[in-house]
């Protein structure tokens, strides 16, 4: 039981966002590093959240991670375009 609890509590929210970037980056050997660094700067809690979810999934593969990276890139684009703030005002 204690091992399960320690695994459950070990997530990327307790670590710097760079640890989440490195975890996600390892699936593609650096191909998406620029996208991940930009996402880490603009939406760090999302980067940490998705890294935490993927680290808990034993079946995560590069295709799944690429989908997550694409989504993080979309989130970063939304922040850059102030789209999130426009939606909140409506």
Question: What residues contact 64, with CB distance under 8 A and at least 6 apart?
Answer: 54, 57
Instruction: Give me the helix-helix angle, 62-80 and 33-42, nearest 10°.
Output: 50
Residue-wise pLDDT tens digits, 11-48: 898 899 999 999 999 998 889 999 999 999 999 999 99
Q: Look up the pTM and report it.
A: 0.80
The more confidently predicted of residues 67 and 4 is 67
The more confidently predicted of residues 56 and 66 is 66
What is the per-residue pLDDT for 6?
46
The more confidently predicted of residues 85 and 33 is 33
What is the per-residue pLDDT for 30?
87
């Amino acid at each position: 039981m204690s091992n399960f609890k320690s695994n459950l509590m070990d997530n990327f929210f307790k670590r710097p966002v760079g640890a989440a970037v490195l975890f996600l980056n390892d699936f593609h050997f650096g191909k998406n590093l620029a996208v991940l660094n930009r996402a880490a700067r603009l939406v760090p809690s999302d980067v940490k959240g998705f890294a935490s979810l993927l680290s808990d999934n034993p079946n995560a593969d590069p295709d799944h991670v690429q989908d997550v990276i694409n989504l993080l890139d979309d989130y970063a684009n939304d922040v850059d375009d102030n789209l999130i703030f426009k939606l909140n005002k409506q």
